[in-house]
């Protein structure tokens, strides 16, 4: 298990999945595990997703691929928010322009508030 | 001490143990009481096992070294080497098989048994126990020995398969490395030097450099996500695709206008899939030596460091989406002045992500400081020196990612 998952309800009743990494490194070694967690998340009736990466001090290309897999799996109109990125993880998001495809927030509360304001 | 006559008959039905196959098992009985020793031997022999006898631990060890014994039935209390000491010796022998040890005790002493178990004894019987109990214990031991033999055989089969795969991977690695150029040559007035180090048997990095007429020098570096065979096959496919002609057709227009982003767009259209796994980062560019310009396109690859005369190195480029990740990705042409005396250093992310034993990354700041120092020393071996610097930073720890370094030098 690379992700710890909990639910949050937005005001219009859309279920929001909040998934937090529980490891400091997301690499080729545990990316398949993350991918399996992501696959398990999708199709559970969630409308939006918030992925909290604040535990991460390192993310490599395989880990990033697994996160992009989530983005590619969700239904149209769903948002995937990423929060808690710092240091080299933030640098990787910036250099690969992932900041343009994921909604980036400082923390889970900010992401959930943003989703609530959308509703 | 319990004594039994050697010819004392033990009555049990062989049907009771139908299906047990003690045939071909070699069993060693270690017992200083000769009568009890022979009594046990007779029971075991009745079931077809080959029996070895010893009256002391020292002799038993010698037999175990010579014969493929699977099961030892040993008395706990013996002069000289007792059963526990014998067990300790057996476990230290590092035999190529597991030896199941049944300890014969004269009483059910908790402390004796605890000590015996902690030294590697597998099972117990009480001296003078019913022969049916002895055979039941042997039946259990037999099952475990057979299971152990099956595991050992599977282990050997797996080991042979792994050896075979490793030989194939080593051959693939050699073949792939032969595709990666070791650059140390002059293209127009640009000296290009490269260093490559693979993180595993096969790698996901690919790069190339081409000299065109009119003073154009083209280059690309690709880093396929992940490691191993899958990344390697993808990188080789990309390497075969980007020929000098393919590069020119996509990058250098007839009017001399350079559009490296067109090459990246072309590759993205070809490789973009729904699966986020198979993507790659790249940087490609053209040095136009007649106009002193560097044209480049960055697709998720770290920014190269550019040093023009009189200025410290700066990172150029604003990043860009990796190739093969999104079909809607847009790519931009970047441009920088690259006059004579300039140096461009392009590194894969393995450079800045090299970690020291404390887990600190080498990082952009150290990389930039390294380049400044190398330039001030007028080093002509910048990429070799950087490999050494990164090795020292990692303090000998193996690379976790492929390392590609290419220097484009106009300092002459």
Same-domain pairing of B135 and B207: no
Q: What is the pLDDT of residue B8?
A: 42
Whether B85 and chain A come into contact, CB under 8 Å, resolves to no
Asked whether residue B18 carries a pLDDT value surpassing 60, the answer given is: no
Same-domain pairing of B124 and B185: no
* pLDDT-above-70 percentage for chain B: 92
Residues of B in contact with A64 (CB under 8 A): 225
Does residue B384 fall inside a structural domain?
yes
**Mean pLDDT in residue range B240-259:** 93
What is the three-state SS of A15-66? EEEEEEECCCEECCCCHHHHHHHHHHHCCCCCCEEEEECCCCCEECHHHHHH
CB contact under 8 A, B281 and A27: no
**Mean pLDDT in residue range B185-207:** 86
By C-alpha distance, the chain A residue nearest B318 is A95
Does residue B172 fall inside a structural domain?
no
Whether B319 and chain A come into contact, CB under 8 Å, resolves to yes
Give the total number of structural domains in chain A. 1
Q: What is the pLDDT of residue B1?
A: 31
Coil, strand, or helix at residue B282? strand
Does residue B315 fall inside a structural domain?
yes
Asked whether residue B13 carries a pLDDT value surpassing 70, the answer given is: no
Domain boundary pick from B153, B172, B200: B153
CATH for B61: 3.40.50.2300
How far does the CA of residue B226 sit from the closest CA of chain A (Å)? 5
Q: What is the pLDDT of residue B62?
A: 93
Same-domain pairing of B354 and B404: yes
Per-residue model confidence as pLDDT tens digits over A60-82: 988 999 899 888 888 888 999 99
CB contact under 8 A, B321 and A68: no
- Please check whether residue B286 is in contact with residue B322, taking contact to mean a CB–CB distance below 8 angstroms: no
Per-residue model confidence as pLDDT tens digits over B137-165: 888 898 888 898 899 899 999 999 999 98
CB contact under 8 A, A72 and B275: yes
**Mean pLDDT in residue range B11-25:** 54
How far does the CA of residue A100 sit from the closest CA of chain B (Å)? 9
Same-domain pairing of B323 and B395: yes
Does residue B16 fall inside a structural domain?
no
Average pLDDT, chain B: 88
Highest mean pLDDT pick, B17-26, B264-273, B340-349 = B340-349
How far does the CA of residue A109 sit from the closest CA of chain B (Å)? 28
Q: What is the pLDDT of residue B22?
A: 64
Same-domain pairing of B268 and B397: yes
Coil, strand, or helix at residue B370? helix
Interatomic CA distance for residues B313 and A55, integer angstroms:
33
Per-residue model confidence as pLDDT tens digits over B391-405: 999 998 988 888 999
Q: What is the pLDDT of residue B110?
A: 80
Same-domain pairing of B281 and B402: yes
Residue B156 burial (CB count, 10 A): 10
Asked whether residue B214 carries a pLDDT value surpassing 50, the answer given is: yes
* Phi, psi of B107, rounded to the nearest 5 degrees: -150, 160
Cβ neighbourhood burial of B412 (10 Å; 0-12, 13-18, 19+) = exposed
- This complex has an ipTM of 0.91
Provide the domain limits for residue B67.
21-153
Does residue B169 fall inside a structural domain?
no
| Res. A28 pLDDT band, cuts 50 70 90 | confident
Same-domain pairing of B188 and B299: yes
Which stretches of B289-387 are assigned E, i.e. beta strand?
Answer: 293-299, 305-307, 314-315, 334-337, 343-347
* Phi, psi of B249, rounded to the nearest 5 degrees: -60, -35
CATH for B383: 3.60.40.10
Asked whether residue B327 carries a pLDDT value surpassing 50, the answer given is: yes
Residues of B in contact with A61 (CB under 8 A): 223, 225-226, 279, 281, 322, 349
**Mean pLDDT in residue range B209-235:** 89
Q: Which of B73-77, B292-296, B343-347 has the lowest mean pLDDT?
A: B73-77
Provide the domain limits for residue A98.
3-118
Per-residue model confidence as pLDDT tens digits over B355-399: 999 999 999 999 999 999 999 999 989 999 999 999 999 998 988
Does residue B12 fall inside a structural domain?
no
Q: What is the pLDDT of residue B321?
A: 97
Same-domain pairing of B278 and B148: no
Same-domain pairing of B405 and B298: yes
Does residue B164 fall inside a structural domain?
no
Asked whether residue B87 carries a pLDDT value surpassing 70, the answer given is: yes
State which H helix or E strand residue B409 sits in: strand B403-409
Same-domain pairing of B129 and B191: no
Domain boundary pick from B153, B170, B197: B153
Q: What is the pLDDT of residue B7?
A: 40
By C-alpha distance, the chain B residue nearest A99 is B321
| Res. A2 pLDDT band, cuts 50 70 90 | low
Interatomic CA distance for residues B59 and B199, integer angstroms:
52
- Please check whether residue B284 is in contact with residue B208, taking contact to mean a CB–CB distance below 8 angstroms: no
Same-domain pairing of B235 and B367: yes
Residues of A in contact with B352 (CB under 8 A): 88
| Res. B11 pLDDT band, cuts 50 70 90 | very low
Q: What is the pLDDT of residue B21?
A: 59
Same-domain pairing of B87 and B204: no
Which of B201, B322, B346 is most worth mutating to test chain A (most A CB atoms within 10 A of its CB)?
B322
Give the N- to C-terminal CA distance of chain B in Å, as an integer: 98
Q: What angle do CA A8, A11, A17 make, to 5 degrees?
A: 25
CB contact under 8 A, B353 and A71: no
Give the total number of structural domains in chain B. 2
By C-alpha distance, the chain B residue nearest A96 is B300
CATH for A52: 3.30.750.24
Which of A31, A36, A72, A96 is most worth mutating to test chain B (most B CB atoms within 10 A of its CB)?
A96
Q: What is the pLDDT of residue B121?
A: 95
Does residue B222 fall inside a structural domain?
yes
């Amino acid at each position: 298990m690379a992700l710890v998952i909990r639910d949050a309800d937005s005001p219009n009743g859309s279920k929001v999945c909040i998934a937090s990494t529980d490891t400091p490194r997301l690499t080729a070694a545990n990316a398949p595990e993350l991918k399996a967690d992501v696959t398990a998340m999708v199709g559970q009736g969630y409308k939006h997703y918030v992925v909290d990466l604040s535990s991460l001090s390192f993310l490599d290309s395989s880990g990033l691929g697994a996160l992009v897999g989530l983005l590619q799996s969700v239904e149209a109109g769903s948002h995937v928010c990423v929060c808690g990125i710092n240091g080299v993880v933030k640098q990787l998001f910036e250099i690969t322009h992932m900041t343009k495809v994921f909604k980036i927030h400082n923390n889970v509360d900010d992401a959930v508030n943003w989703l609530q304001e959308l509703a | 001490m319990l004594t039994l006559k050697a010819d004392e008959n033990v009555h049990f039905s062989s049907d009771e143990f139908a299906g047990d196959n003690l045939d071909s098992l070699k069993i060693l009985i270690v017992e200083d009481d000769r009568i009890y020793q022979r009594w046990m031997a007779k029971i075991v022999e009745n079931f077809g096992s080959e029996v070895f006898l010893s009256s002391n631990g020292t002799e038993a060890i010698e037999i175990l070294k010579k014969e493929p014994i699977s099961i030892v039935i040993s008395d706990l209390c013996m002069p000289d080497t007792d059963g526990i000491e014998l067990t300790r010796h057996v476990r230290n022998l590092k035999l190529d098989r597991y030896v199941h040890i049944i300890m014969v005790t004269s009483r059910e002493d908790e402390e004796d048994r605890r000590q015996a178990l902690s030294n590697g004894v597998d099972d117990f019987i009480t001296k003078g126990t019913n022969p049916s109990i002895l055979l039941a214990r042997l039946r259990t031991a037999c099952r475990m020995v057979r299971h152990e033999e099956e595991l050992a055989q599977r282990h050997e089969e797996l080991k042979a398969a792994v050896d075979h795969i490793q030989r194939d991977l080593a051959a693939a690695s050699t073949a792939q490395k032969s595709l990666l150029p070791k650059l140390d040559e002059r293209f127009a007035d640009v000296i290009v030097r490269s260093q490559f180090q693979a993180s595993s048997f096969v790698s996901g990095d690919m790069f190339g450099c081409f000299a065109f007429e009119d003073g154009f020098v083209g280059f690309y570096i690709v880093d396929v996500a992940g490691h191993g065979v899958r990344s390697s096959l993808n990188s080789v496919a990309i390497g075969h695709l980007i020929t000098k002609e393919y590069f020119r057709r996509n990058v250098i227009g007839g009017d001399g206008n350079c559009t490296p982003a067109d090459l990246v767009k072309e590759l993205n259209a070809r490789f973009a899939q729904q699966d986020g796994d198979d993507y790659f980062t790249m940087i490609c560019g053209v040095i136009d030596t007649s106009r002193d310009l560097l044209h480049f396109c960055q697709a998720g690859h770290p920014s190269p460091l550019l040093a023009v005369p009189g200025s410290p190195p700066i990172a150029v480029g604003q990043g860009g989406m990796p190739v093969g990740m999104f079909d809607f990705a847009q790519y931009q042409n970047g441009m920088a002045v690259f006059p004579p005396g300039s140096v461009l250093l392009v590194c894969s992310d393995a450079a800045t992500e090299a970690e020291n034993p404390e887990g600190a990354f080498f990082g952009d700041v150290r990389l930039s400081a390294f380049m400044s120092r190398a330039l001030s020393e007028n080093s002509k071996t910048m990429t070799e020196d950087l490999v050494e610097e990164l090795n020292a930073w990692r303090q000998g720890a193996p690379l976790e990612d492929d390392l590609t370094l290419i220097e484009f030098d106009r300092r002459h």
